[in-house]
Amino acid sequence: MSEIVMDELFKGVEPMVYASRINVPYHWWAGDTASKFFIALRDEKKILGARCDYCSMTFVPPRKTCPRCGAAEMKWADVAACGTVLAYTVVRRQMAAMPKKTPVVYALIKLDGAETGMLHMIDGVHPEHVKIGMRVRAQFAPERKGHIFDIEYFRPEG
């Protein structure tokens, strides 16, 4: 049986790109670990992490198994609703999937009690005033539905 080389398979085929604005909503099963995380956000306004007893790392969002050492047993750990901005970017171009009007600040936030960063939005501050090292606190949505936007955004502390 001869091996087909991808270059040969598409030789003479002109690639075409079609711009579209089709929105394709879908549902997915979050699984046991993410479900517990989202239920705690929704029902208790609490952020949970998963702690590995073998390497002492706490991950937010939680993981079912430890990505650092491979341990299969993780324990639930409460982490604080406040933390430190590790990195950020300002998005100034409006996209259909964005939950807020631009400019939007996305930040990697290391919550107190966790060793990893969590990606989320920062609001309540001008984008020019966001800084690495800035302390922020979760602002929970008034109506929570069991997804990541139950944390509406993070705002500066103080």
Rounded Cα gap, residues 81 and 154, in angstroms: 9
Name the DSSP letter for residue 14: P
Q: How remote is the C-alpha of 142 from its chain's centroid?
A: 20
User: Which tokens sit at 84?
Assistant: 């430190």
Rounded Cα gap, residues 141 and 41, in angstroms: 10
Structure confidence by residue, pLDDT tens digits, 22-81: 777 777 777 889 999 999 999 999 999 999 999 999 999 999 999 999 999 899 999 999
% the chain with pLDDT above 90: 73
**CB 118, CB 60: distance < 8 Å:** yes
- What's the pLDDT band for 1 if we cut at 50, 70, 90? very low
Q: What is the pLDDT of residue 2?
A: 53
Rg (CA), the chain: 20
Inform me whether the pLDDT recorded for 18 exceeds 90.
no
Rounded Cα gap, residues 32 and 63, in angstroms: 10
Q: Does residue 56 come out as left (phi exceeding 0), alpha (psi in the -120 to 50 range) or beta?
A: left
To which residue do tokens 């050492």 refer? 69
What are the φ/ψ torsions at residue 86 (nearest 5 degrees)?
Answer: -90, -35
Residue-range domain boundaries for the chain:
31-156
Inform me whether the pLDDT recorded for 121 exceeds 70.
yes
What are the φ/ψ torsions at residue 156 (nearest 5 degrees)?
Answer: -60, 145
